Amino acid sequence: MISGVIIKKINKNVDARGWLAEIYRADELNYRPMMGYVSVTNPGVIRGPHEHKQQSDAFVFIGPGNFELHLWDGRSGSATEGEYLKIEAGENNPVMAIVPPGVVHGYKCLGAAAGWCINLPDKLYRGEGKAGEVDEIRWEGNSESPYRIE
């Protein structure tokens, strides 16, 4: 594991109507989302890697679709500095992954179908009224990047 990263298994409660899954409960996690959004990623497409200086992301991979989630601890002085973690997440392994600032992250959609990801970050994108700076350090366009998703 990487220090500060939380991987929470999500249980789907299935019945004749379909399924229901709790993805967030304030009484289970010391984490407070400030906004939420859904992204759809086409098969084989990679998002990231990038990191945030202040923001934590809470990715919910529950389906449809499956992903490889890649995490690198790039934080100087962290107990797990330099560690790398790759997990499969999504329809076959529903999880929430909370990624703290300084942990580089990205994911790739696996298989032949598009995949859905819900993100519940703890900061507003571009701040109040979208008037601030974007809190991202992007690695995907950097040919010298040590962070690669194949």
Q: What's the chain look like in SS3?
A: CCCCCEEEECCCEEECCEEECCCCCCCCCCCCCCCCEEEEECCCCEEEEEECCCCCEEEEECCCCEEEEEEEECCCCCCCCCCEEEEEEECCECEEEEECCCEEEEEEEECCCCEEEEECCCCCCCCHHHCCCCCCEECCCCCCCCCCCC
Domain 6-126 -> CATH class:
mainly beta
**To the nearest whole number, what is the mean pLDDT of the chain?**
96
Mean pLDDT of 60-77: 97
**Domain residue ranges in the chain:** 6-126
Query: And the tokens for 144?
Result: 């010298």
* Amino acid 88: pLDDT: 98
Cα separation, 133 vs 66, in Å, equals 31
Mean pLDDT of 35-55: 98
Tens of pLDDT, residues 120-147: 999 999 999 999 999 999 999 899 999 9
